[in-house]
């Protein structure tokens, strides 16, 4: 089953989407579906999610770079 969704994208989002879609020979709609699927998969499989808000940190960018910090810690 499929569902239709209508989005009004500003130029600063649509232009790079269209450019990327053209580069790989896909329609913008197909590329958006891939992006959405990737986003959904990444948020469902985040093993760190259960720890969100559990610790105080001096690192303001912890949410964006947690993999880097964990990897660095493990390599030491």
Q: Phi first, then psi: what are they for 52, rounded to 5°?
A: -60, 125
Name the percent of the chain in helix, strand, coil, to the closest 5.
Answer: 65, 0, 35
pLDDT confidence of residue 45:
66
Q: For the chain, 76 residues long, give each residue's pLDDT as a single digit of tens.
A: 989 999 999 999 999 999 999 999 999 999 999 999 988 887 666 677 787 778 777 777 877 887 887 887 777 6
Task: Name the residue among 29, 40, 23, 34 with its Cα closest to residue 7.
Answer: 29
- Give me the count of residues in the chain: 76
């Amino acid at each position: 089953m499929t569902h239709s969704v209508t989005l009004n994208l500003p130029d600063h989002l649509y232009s790079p989407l269209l450019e990327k879609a053209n580069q790989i020979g896909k329609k913008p709609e197909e590329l958006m579906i891939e992006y959405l699927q990737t986003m959904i998969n990444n948020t469902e499989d985040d093993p760190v999610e259960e720890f969100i808000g559990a610790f105080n940190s001096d690192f303001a960018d912890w949410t964006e770079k947690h993999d880097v910090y964990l990897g660095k810690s493990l390599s030491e």
